[in-house]
């Protein structure tokens, strides 16, 4: 990385590296390493491994202190939402990380915008920052403003009266393999004034219940209740 580019990136992240090689490594994708013949260039995979743990500890520590008394289950959901690939790629995009990546020729076309590459580079950057500073609080100073803004966005999404089923689906999809479904509990009253009761399940766990004059309305109300599990009060 040129001295100019390094200064630009350090200005964006608010941290100056003592060991510039750590920053270079954090920005080096395996595709670049594979094209180097005879060179001793290291990819960012090991720093990504470290950064993933640094990220998790920083997020957990922040949530623990920011939301005293919030149950473990809801803290876990918040953590998942704050460190999913989409969100980390957004963090990386905000600081323009993609333009500094060292990529192989095969990734140059669109690799600088790929969410997976951006996520990995962002985690590697956290790992590099932690090693260079030797202090978790330096990472916290950089990362916590991102967390606060993302939490504010998550809370704001529940204010408008909107399609709660769609919003819930978006949160559930952030965790691969989780299945969302609605199940009718009961149907009461005459045909012209029925009341439907529905529950919403994520995998086999009930996340909320809702009632309404139609099945669709009951599902929306159940989704609205379920969303409360994903956000702090």
DSSP string, 141-170: HHHHHHHHHHHHHHHHTTSS---HHHHHHH
Catalytic, out of 24, 90, 107, 123: 123
Q: What is the pTM of this model?
A: 0.71
Rg (CA), the chain: 22
Domain boundary among 104, 130, 156: 156
Q: What is the CATH number of the domain that holds 212?
A: 3.30.160.20
Q: How many domains does the chain have?
A: 2
52 is catalytic: yes
Instruction: Tell me whether residue 19 is one of the annotated catalytic residues.
Output: no
Q: Which of 24, 52, 90, 107 is an active site residue?
A: 52
Among candidates 175, 174, 177, 183, which has minimal Cα distance to 208?
Answer: 183
Domain that residue 107 falls in: 3-156
Q: Which among 106, 125, 156 is the end of a domain?
A: 156
200 within some domain? yes
* In-domain check, residue 120: yes
Instruction: Show pLDDT as tens, one digit a residue, over the chain (233 residues).
Output: 677 888 899 999 999 999 999 999 999 999 998 888 766 889 999 999 999 999 999 999 999 998 887 777 778 878 888 898 889 999 999 999 999 999 988 887 777 889 999 999 999 999 999 999 999 999 999 999 999 999 888 776 554 445 788 878 877 877 778 899 999 999 998 887 889 999 999 988 899 999 988 898 899 899 988 888 776 65
Residues 136 and 198 in one domain: no
Distance CA(201)–CA(222), nearest Å, equals 10
């Amino acid at each position: 990385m040129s001295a100019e580019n390094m200064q630009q990136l350090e200005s964006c992240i608010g941290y100056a590296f003592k060991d510039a090689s750590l920053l270079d490594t954090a920005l080096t994708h395996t595709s670049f390493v594979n094209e180097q013949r005879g060179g001793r260039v290291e990819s960012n995979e090991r720093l990504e491994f470290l950064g993933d743990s640094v990220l998790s500890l920083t997020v957990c520590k922040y949530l623990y202190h920011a939301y005293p008394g919030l149950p473990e289950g809801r803290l876990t959901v918040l953590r998942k939402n704050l460190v999913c690939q989409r969100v980390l790629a957004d963090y990386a995009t905000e600081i323009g990380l993609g333009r500094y990546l060292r990529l192989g020729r095969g990734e140059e076309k669109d690799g600088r915008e790929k969410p997976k590459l951006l996520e990995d580079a962002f985690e590697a950057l956290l790992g590099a920052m932690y090693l260079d500073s030797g202090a978790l609080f330096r990472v916290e100073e950089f990362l916590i403003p991102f967390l606060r803004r993302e939490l504010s966005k998550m809370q704001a999404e529940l204010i408008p009266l909107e399609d709660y089923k769609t919003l819930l689906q978006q949160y559930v999809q952030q965790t691969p393999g989780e299945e969302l479904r609605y199940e009718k509990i009961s149907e009461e009253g005459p045909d012209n004034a029925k009341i439907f009761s529905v529950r919403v399940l994520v995998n086999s766990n009930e996340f909320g219940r809702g009632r309404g004059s139609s099945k669709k309305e009951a599902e929306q109300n159940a989704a609205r209740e379920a969303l409360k599990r994903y956000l702090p009060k």
